[in-house]
Chain A
Amino acid sequence: MMAEDITIDVANEFNRWPAGRFRRDGRYSGERFRQEFLVPALRKQGTVTIKMDGAAGYGPSFLEEAFGGLVRKEGFSKNVLSRLQIETSRSNRKKLIREVIQNASPETASN
């Protein structure tokens, strides 16, 4: 498969007010963003650029589920970080995303 670089503009393509961890929490949850945007983009093997600034803000639960969930639930290794370009004016947001990926461990059926 040819690697394909993809850009995701959260505010324009997903929602300006993303919130919540799971789909049951709200319509624009971290789980939904991961499953419908991040995972399909990352499966194409190229670099995925995430434009984050247009949205009003992000809760840590949303970020953990969206990005940490790549390692915990979707079978990506922590190296997935090298293919993610986070565009944000807030340095602590980039740091938080890096942390949630690095702290995540793959979940097994028992946990």
Chain B
Amino acid sequence: MRETILVQKKKGYIDFKFCETISAGAGLILAAETERCRILRFRNNRPTLTGNYPKNPIIHQFLGELGFFKILDIGYKPLSFDSDEKSSTQFITMRTARRDQGQELNYVTEVFGTGSVQLDNEAKVSLYEGLLEAMNNVTAHAYPIKHQEAYNWTLPYQWWAAGYWDRERREIAVLIYDMGVGIPATLKQDGYFADIQQRLGLGNSDQDKIKLAMEIGKSRLQSSHRGHGMATLRHAINLVSDGSLLILSGMGRYYVSNKSEKTMALPSDINGTFIEWRIRDENMITWKFNDG
């Protein structure tokens, strides 16, 4: 999409006809890219990117709840389901804004304080504060002026956030994405960082740099360095017995749960930063549905 619509300035069409599955994260990233293309590229006063409705009712429901059809400026009417294929997942409509907009961001986690699915308040606040830190990193680091000047397809300081709960898996999640330069590209390479990098045996791959940012967040607070608040991203996971944090940035993947920490290289650049928190703790989440 980026290459066709933004770089080559051609028309594009998103065809969902054969789409059978899509993850929440992929949906959020697709929605963000679609929104950017439709904001930045017009022909005859119409966006050059359009699309059709999915035939798969679960994907139709997911994209509708996420707010994807609103981006395409078309309506959303849920399709009828066969009883055995109804989705157990409810998505929280995507929010997007520029810079630090706490009220917009809070919408994503506040859903878990008042509705059918209630998360323990301390975990909910920790999730929100993790999102706040991610949002502040977008404002402070993700879109450097040089990057904005080099590419005429950036939406500076923009972020997209969403969430969901799944009744069958007894899982809730919140996600945030930006289309900036990524954590590895903005990590400062000073002596302090180099010392920790050497001590932990980390290299210069993107996944190692994400891990380094998380480690630095654990060990110090300093205003002038990115990473001082990265540890905040982990607080919500530390509070629960079953939770995980996933960060995709540049070409790196970092995953931490209550049981393990893993890094790996991505096959291609994600062109930004994607962060997802998942919580599956029965003691922390109250499900208020008739079927239990």
Q: How far is the CB of A30 from chain B (nearest CB, A)?
A: 10
Name which residue of chain A comes closest to B113, CB basis: A56
Distance in angstroms between the alpha carbons of A58 and B221 in the assembled complex: 15
Contact of B228 among A25, A60, A92 (CB under 8 A): A60
Q: Is A51 an interface residue (CB 8 A)?
A: no
Given A20-B136, A20-B139, A65-B223, also A15-B102 (CB < 8 A): yes
Interface residues of B, count at CB 8 A: 28
CA distance A96 to B133 in the complex (A): 14
B132 within 8 A of A: yes
Contacts of A72 in B (CB 8 A): 223
In the complex, the answer to whether A90 meets B232 with C-beta atoms within 8 Å is: no
Checking B100, B105, B129, B223 against A25 with a beta-carbon cut-off of 8 angstroms, the contacting residue is B100
B125 in contact with A25 (CB, 8 Å): no
B283 within 8 A of A: no
Give A87 Cβ to nearest chain B Cβ, in Å. Answer: 15
**Cβ of B229: which chain A residues have Cβ within 8 Å of it?**
59-61, 64
How far, in whole Å, are A1 and B238 apart by their CA atoms in the complex? 47
Q: Given that A19-B105, A72-B223 are known contacts, is A25 also in contact with B140, CB under 8 Å in the complex?
A: yes
Residues of B within 8 A of A (CB): 99-103, 105-106, 109-110, 122, 125-126, 128-129, 132-133, 135-136, 139-140, 220-223, 228-229, 232, 235
Docked pose: A92 CA to B232 CA in angstroms: 11
Shortest CB distance B275–A (Å): 14
Complex CA–CA separation, A17 to B110 (angstroms): 12
Chain A interface residue count, Cβ-Cβ cutoff 8 angstroms:
30
The one of B126, B129, B140, B232 in contact with A21, judged by C-beta atoms closer than 8 angstroms, is: B140
The 7 closest A-B pairs by CB, nearest first: A17-B102, A20-B100, A26-B100, A19-B102, A59-B132, A60-B229, A19-B100
6 pairs of residues in contact across A and B, judged by CB atoms under 8 Å: A56-B109, A57-B106, A60-B129, A62-B132, A103-B221, A103-B222
> A56: which of B99, B106, B223 is its contact (CB, 8 Å)?
B106
Task: Given A58-B132, A59-B129, A90-B125, decide whether A17 and B221 contact each other with a Cβ distance below 8 A.
Answer: no
Determine whether A33 belongs to the interface, using a CB cutoff of 8 Å to chain B. Answer: no
B99–A60 CB distance below 8 A: no
Contact (Cβ within 8 A) A60 B133? yes
Cα of A99 to Cα of B223 in the assembled complex, Å: 12
A18 CA to B106 CA in the complex, in Å? Answer: 11
- Complexed CA–CA distance, A89 and B106 (Å): 19
Instruction: Identify which of B105, B125, B221 contacts A60 (C-beta below 8 A).
Output: B221
Contacting pair B101 A57 (CB below 8 A): no
Chain B nearest CB: distance from A8 CB in Å? 18
Pick the contact of A18 from B102, B133, B222 — CB < 8 Å? B102
A81 CB to closest chain B CB (Å) equals: 15
Do the beta carbons of B99 and A64 come within 8 Å of each other?
A: no
**Seed contacts A17-B105, A28-B100, A60-B229; 19 additional CB < 8 Å A-B pairs:** A18-B102, A19-B105, A20-B99, A20-B102, A21-B223, A28-B102, A56-B102, A56-B125, A59-B229, A59-B232, A60-B228, A61-B133, A61-B136, A64-B228, A72-B223, A90-B122, A100-B221, A103-B220, A103-B222
